[in-house]
A and B are shown apart, each in its own frame.
Chain A
Amino acid sequence: MSEAADLPLFPVTMVGSWPRSPALLRALKRRQAGEIPQAEFETAADAAVLEVLRVQEEAGVDVVTDGEQRRDNFYSFLAEKLEGLRLMTLAGLLEYAEDKAFFDRTLRSLDAPSFSIKSPTVVDRLRLRSPLAADGATFLRRHTDKPIKVALPGPYLLARATWVAGVSNSAYPTREALAADLVTILRDEVARLVAAGVAFVQLDEPVLTDVVFRPPVAVRSFMCAPLAAPETDPEGELSWAVELVNAVVQDAGVRTGLHLCRGNWTRNEAVLLSGSYAPLLGALEAMAVDQWVLEFATPRAGDLEVFRGHAGREIGLGVVNPRTAEVETAATIVARVREALRHFDPSRVWLNPDCGFGTFAERPVADAEVAAAKLRAMVAAAAALRSEGSQVTRSGAR
């Protein structure tokens, strides 16, 4: 990736998503209702992607994304791309829920009915209907010279969230059996993304925080694994996640990243998960990815000190919180980066938001104006850090 080699220090990028415009949301709903053909939706999405690209280029972002404008959320969109994966409402899945009381309590915490939340569920053997993200990457490639980053839902997230006992068994007796196919599908997609000229592929594995923080049922985010019972063996789950991620990224031939977060479905920080990276560090280090894309703008993510002596990768440092209306100043961001530089070599530090600005199309956590201001703040901070030049040293890194 020659373009990636040309990156400046402290490259600025997004985690992935961007809030959808009202016009795009209308097109999405009409397509989901079968009122407009796919081609008409793609036309609306093309226009939206170009607008998100314009915002990033004008802000000075170094590695751009398509803002996930074609997706209803960061992983459900696979239901359109894969035969055998169906978007089912939680109402339809209730009979199969392993813990119905948990299901009800979680819906109450969201003040939502079961028919309003949909979850991609495996109902048959998976077969690729169309590329997961490569077509969108090809479109973006035609419209920018900047390096491109694409996020894909990770194999552990998918294996855990889409396999529902009672619904998926006939296609795959176990979620392990499903995971084998998911790994193949994701590996093939990474290869297509590389061929499409993508410079950076990020796997999203947000449920790993759910595994280790084992939140009380009432505050457990079910957006990613609505029907899975609470884990009884967190260590075993982490090991399995490492195995699956490594199977996907092995010999990928592209910069790879692993993104973790503690929930990005509400602006109410009190109900999102909380805890440092300490219990995840072993898994992170065992994953053969080039970059850890991590939250650090929110205090819920704990201290960077955890990485002392464990800074052997690039870090996509979360320096702005996508859920707050206040725009972080460049000075605040620079100060955060300096903390990271106590442990990470400057050549390994990237700047990004904690998570997407619009992970769920219909529940974006940011509006586009604030999000754009946050991009500009990151770019200003990166410029300030670069201008310090030789003053930037690895004071605490090993």
Chain B
Amino acid sequence: MPELNGLDLGAMQALVQTIQADPNAAQPFNEWTARVRWHSGFKAQALVRNHTFLIDEPADLVGKDEAPNAAEYLLGAYGACLTTGFILNATKRGVRLRNLEVTLDGRIDNILTFLGLSDQGHPGYREIAATAYVDAETDDETLGEIWRETVASSPVGNSLTRSVTIREKLVRV
């Protein structure tokens, strides 16, 4: 079975052909869900499909530091999204990767607003720096193109840079 970068090329091609023949087949991939349940203190557990993961705050923010916090998961999610996209785009071009590592540095605009101690700015990330370190069997120009495609087409990146409509509600039980 032909393989590149750990991806089954036959399965990838079949997926592309299926979606090309019937774009509605991609509909399920437009929708994602998560359920997050509070445990105790700042600790919570997320359930996504058949997976769970913990969320907590560092001890110096009064958490138990048993897991990353939500804002850190966002950085991790963006890094993972860039990794996934890079592998997809490299594999589409037939480029073999030996190593890939992405670092993320996020700068919160003003954390005091989260703590209710300021009304200046906002408590979200003001800036995120993403750096990809790549070792691949191709030229610099191709790598640059793969990276630009990856950043431009990242679902998490687009969620961060475009405004997402959030429909929220509260239910008392």
Contacts and interface: CB of A to CB of B under 8 A. Distances in A.
B161 interface: no
B59 to A, nearest CB: 13
Interface string A106-130: 0110011111100000000000000
Contacts of B101: 91, 113-115
B103 interface: yes
Interface string A161-202: 000000000000000000000000000000000000000000
Interface string A82-115: 0000000001000000000000000110011111
A65 B114 CA distance: 61
Contacts of B105: 108
B103 A108 contact: yes
B99 interface: yes
B103 A116 contact: no
Contacts of B99: 91, 113, 115-116
B103 A115 contact: no
A111 B135 CA distance: 15
Interface of A is mostly: helix
Interface in B124-146: 131, 133, 135
Contacts of A113: 99, 101, 103, 133
A115 B134 CA distance: 10
Contacts of B133: 112-113, 115-116
Contacts of A107: 103
Interface in B93-124: 99, 101, 103, 105
A112 B101 CA distance: 9
A314 B92 CA distance: 64
Contacts of A112: 133
Contacts of B103: 107-108, 113
A91 B102 CA distance: 12
A91 B103 CA distance: 13
Nearest to B105: A108
Interface string A237-279: 0000000000000000000000000000000000000000000
B76 to A, nearest CB: 12
A374 to B, nearest CB: 33
Nearest to B131: A111
Contacts of B135: 115-116
B102 to A, nearest CB: 9
A326 to B, nearest CB: 33
A113 B105 CA distance: 14
Contacts of A114: 101
Interface string A321-334: 00000000000000
B149 to A, nearest CB: 21
A107 B133 CA distance: 12
B156 to A, nearest CB: 20
B106 to A, nearest CB: 13
A263 B46 CA distance: 45
A82 B46 CA distance: 47
A164 to B, nearest CB: 20
A239 B98 CA distance: 43
A277 B103 CA distance: 37
A91 B99 CA distance: 10
A112 B105 CA distance: 14
Interface in A110-153: 111-116
Nearest to B102: A113
Nearest to A89: B99
Given A107-B103, A108-B105, 17 more contacts: A91-B99, A91-B101, A108-B103, A111-B131, A112-B133, A113-B99, A113-B101, A113-B103, A113-B133, A114-B101, A115-B99, A115-B101, A115-B133, A115-B135, A116-B99, A116-B133, A116-B135
18 contacts: A91-B99, A91-B101, A107-B103, A108-B103, A108-B105, A112-B133, A113-B99, A113-B101, A113-B103, A113-B133, A114-B101, A115-B99, A115-B101, A115-B133, A115-B135, A116-B99, A116-B133, A116-B135
Closest 7 A-B residue pairs measured CB to CB?
A113-B133, A113-B101, A115-B99, A115-B101, A114-B101, A108-B103, A115-B135
